[in-house]
Structure 1
Amino acid sequence: MSFKHSFKFSSFGPSALIQAASQNHTYRDFVVKLTKTRRSALSETDKFGWTPIHYTAHFGAVDIFKVFLDHIDSSTARKRDKQGMTVIHIAAREGEVTILKELAYNFPEIWDLQDNKGQTVFHLAVERGKLDCVKFILATKLSHYGLINQKDNEGNIALHLATIHGKNQQIFELLIKDCRVDKSARNIEGFTVIDIILLKEYGYFEKTWITMSVASNGGLESLEHAINKDGRKTRSTESTTTNQEQPQTTWFPVAIEAQPQLIPNKRPEPAAMKKPSSDQLHTIASINLLVTTLIATISFAAGFTMPGGYKSDGPEEGMAILSRKLAFRVFLIANALAFCFSSTSMFLHYCKSFVEKLDAHAFYTYITSLLTSYGITAMVIAFVSGTYAALSDSPGLAKAVLSIGCSFFGLQLLVYFK
């Protein structure tokens, strides 16, 4: 070790151990000597309330952490900084899964501790998008139902934070698919995860798909909360804030470090959040059923009325004349998709007739509407490609039909993403 580095670690106390921790394994031997000389320094704190072991978790100094681990007890592991964080909170926040595993094995009693914001290790790992830590927390036996659905001071469980911050899509999918996670949990403002999704700036298809993923994985009650049976507001919290003016706030902050208010006290009512009544859902379903029936009828008929006709003689008698053309093959695939989408939508309408709960009706309405929109798109593709194949001898006319057909997709995108 150089004279410069020797001078750097000249003070035998917590500051020396902290500085050593930041250097990771480079000064491992020296740290071992310091630890043996001043073991009590491991429990001493600096002006931030951090002990040397806090810093090992912060810097990811795994080797030095293991040295410290042999010389600390439960009281040192429980030491909190000025934000109420223990070393296990720091490890989860920084994504240090190795340190997190060691702490869980050696000090399981600190696993459920909350910081000053009421957040657990699970909250912090999810909020910061630390996928490996989230996987470990969900896999360990220490993570019981209460921890996974623990609410912080804002009433947010980890799933709320994954939705609000959106740091890692894989984390959101993990939580949605885990049967222990309460998808219908509400925070202090009465928001469920679907409420938050509907308020975010997603596109039509993305918003619908995410909402249905939540609903199909145990979040139907959350969906029912977003779609009110009588068209009235259901949250008791809203009745106390209707007549109060609230300052405009930012919904989804970019920087977590700023830690602003995540959810404003008054909920806006954008168009995406207007809740249809039971009668409105019935009207939507009736129109959707009519449209999807027409698509199924047209695509079924088109499957037996091939563009260009059939061969009347020869070894391939009865085969489609245009079967070798690419446009004709596109027609067949698109027509088959249109029939499948519409038939599936019709089947779901049939299934819906056996359910009574509003949340189930809403679920089926979303799914059938999505399938019908796909069926319409496939039907237009089938029409354009079939016509193009039949007009292959008239390229000018074929291109004109193709251009007209493509204008539909421009209109469709304009409607969906407006």
Structure 2
Amino acid sequence: MDPKLHRAIIKGDVASMRDLASSDSRFVLLQVTPQGDNIVHVAAKHDVKQIADALVQFPQSNFCIKRTQKATLHCTLQQGWGNHDTALHDAVRNGHEEIVNLLITRDPKLALLTNNVGESPLFIAADKRHDRIAKPILNVAPDYSIEDRNKMNQDNEGNTALHLAVLRGHHGKIFKSTIEDVRVDKAIANSAGHTVIGILLMQEQNIIFKWCITTFVAIYEGLETGFIMPGGYVGYGPNAGMLILSHKFAFGVSAIANVLAFSFSNVSMSLHFYISLKQKLDVLAFYTNYTTLLTSLAIIPMAVAFASGSYISLSFTPAFAKTVLSFGCSAYAFLYYLWFY
């Protein structure tokens, strides 16, 4: 590609680009960079809307080396090397919303084109979490057949944009838009045989299992702290063998909190194993909400047990105890922030 032309495109200098193309626009518009990008690709990558806007006004046959039955703008956008990304792919990948809107407004069928690894523009938008870009791409889907819409939404491994949003944990606007869109087939299975609902259920089970394991480990540590705390044992009398600190109020709080945490987590795990035997989605969703709630409730007494147990066991070193408690409480506050927000 002529360096002057490349600089004019990057700078958004429409006048210079038109001057360079005035003598032989077909020759100029067919030039590519060493990476195989034509001028539309360059404009899309660098988010130069004024250049892209001017380019799509040119006679599109000027961009095509060979005439085909495809729309001429498709020829413009299929000269790239590498993954054979179109300019729309490049614009989506780089998050250039205005360029995306410009291209799909000119030719909505661009949303159906995939590169050589099966990635559609919608798929890339889901991968890059470009929420605002995915919506206009989804909006062009009604004009096409179910087969075309599925092609727009699946890669070579059979994953749809919705699969990708779930697999990557991107439960944001793209997930919400696609899951609520009646035109998106939620029953499509990828090459591994997993549907979106199946992946969601597996992820939910893994999350609950991790929470339960974490809760049990914390409870064990809390009980261990309670029964191996300093202060010694009563050596004589009817209370011989009892912990001297067992009569302290904080010890009682720690013991009760541990029992509550154990109870909540135990019921949660029991429900978890129960729902693994069920097949109906509404039953699974109902009990999954309860297991998540119970696991969340177990965190509260677990935090109380940690604080009260640490207070007793570290009462002989007040400065160190305050440091440990401050870090512990901050950690639990951070966990609750992540959970609820």
Q: Distance in 2 between matches of 1:378 and 1:40?
A: 70
Q: Distance in 2 between matches of 1:206 and 1:19?
A: 55
The DSSP-based 3-state class of the residue aligned with 2:116 is: coil
1:75 is aligned to 2:75:
no
Aligned partner of 2:114 in structure 1 is 114
Map residues 6-405 of structure 1 onto 2, 5 A cutoff: 14-16=1-3, 18-25=5-12, 27-41=13-27, 43-46=29-32, 47-73=34-60, 74-79=71-76, 80-81=78-79, 82=81, 83-140=83-140, 146-147=148-149, 150-166=153-169, 169-175=171-177, 177-180=179-182, 181-193=184-196, 196=199, 204=207, 357-374=279-296
Render the CA deviation track for 1:204-249: whole Å, top value 9, x for unaligned. 36999xxxxxxxxxxxxxxxxxxxxxxxxxxxxxxxxxxxxxxxxx
- Quick check: 1:43–1:51 contact (8 Å CA) kept in 2? yes
Following superposition, the deviation at residue 122 of structure 1 comes to 0.6
Q: Distance in 1 between matches of 2:196 and 2:8?
A: 40
Q: Distance in 1 between matches of 2:88 and 2:163?
A: 21
How many residues are aligned here?
244
Render the CA deviation track for 1:16-71: whole Å, top value 9, x for unaligned. 4651355232x332112112223103541435432111111111111111121211
- Quick check: 2:9–2:42 contact (8 Å CA) kept in 1? yes
Q: Distance in 1 between matches of 2:7 and 2:21?
A: 11
Q: Distance in 2 between matches of 1:154 and 1:359?
A: 26
- Quick check: 2:162–2:196 contact (8 Å CA) kept in 1? yes
Render the CA deviation track for 1:237-272: whole Å, top value 9, x for unaligned. xxxxxxxxxxxxxxxxxxxxxxxxxxxxxxxxxx9x
Q: Distance in 2 between matches of 1:35 and 1:129?
A: 37
Q: Distance in 1 between matches of 2:20 and 2:105?
A: 25
Render the CA deviation track for 1:126-154: whole Å, top value 9, x for unaligned. 22222221122233466756526732111
Q: Distance in 2 between matches of 1:21 and 1:188?
A: 45
Which residue identity lines up with residue 15 of structure 1 in the other structure?
D
Following superposition, the deviation at residue 158 of structure 1 comes to 0.7
Q: Distance in 1 between matches of 2:167 and 2:302?
A: 38
Q: Distance in 2 between matches of 1:201 and 1:17?
A: 55
Render the CA deviation track for 1:349-394: whole Å, top value 9, x for unaligned. xxx9xxx9533332222122233445566789999xxxxxxxxxxx
Following superposition, the deviation at residue 185 of structure 1 comes to 2.7
- Quick check: 1:92–1:133 contact (8 Å CA) kept in 2? yes
Aligned partner of 2:271 in structure 1 is none
- Quick check: 1:58–1:90 contact (8 Å CA) kept in 2? yes
For structure 2, the 5+ residue unaligned runs are 61-70, 214-263, 269-274, 306-311, 316-320, 333-341
Following superposition, the deviation at residue 156 of structure 1 comes to 1.0
- Quick check: 2:208–2:291 contact (8 Å CA) kept in 1? no
For structure 1, the 5+ residue unaligned runs are 1-13, 209-270, 272-340, 346-351, 384-395, 414-418
RMSD: 4.7
Q: Distance in 2 between matches of 1:186 and 1:112?
A: 20
Alignment CA distance shift 1:70-1:50 (3 Å): same
Alignment CA distance shift 1:199-1:38 (3 Å): farther
Alignment CA distance shift 1:17-1:57 (3 Å): farther
As a proportion of its length, which structure holds more helix? 2
Q: Distance in 2 between matches of 1:366 and 1:200?
A: 11
Question: Could you tell which deviates more after superposition, 358-367 or 55-64?
Answer: 358-367
| TM-score of the aligned structures, taking structure 1 as reference length | 0.46
The DSSP-based 3-state class of the residue aligned with 2:7 is: helix
Alignment CA distance shift 1:377-1:107 (3 Å): closer
Percent identical across equivalent pairs? Answer: 20
The DSSP-based 3-state class of the residue aligned with 2:172 is: helix
Alignment CA distance shift 1:189-1:374 (3 Å): closer
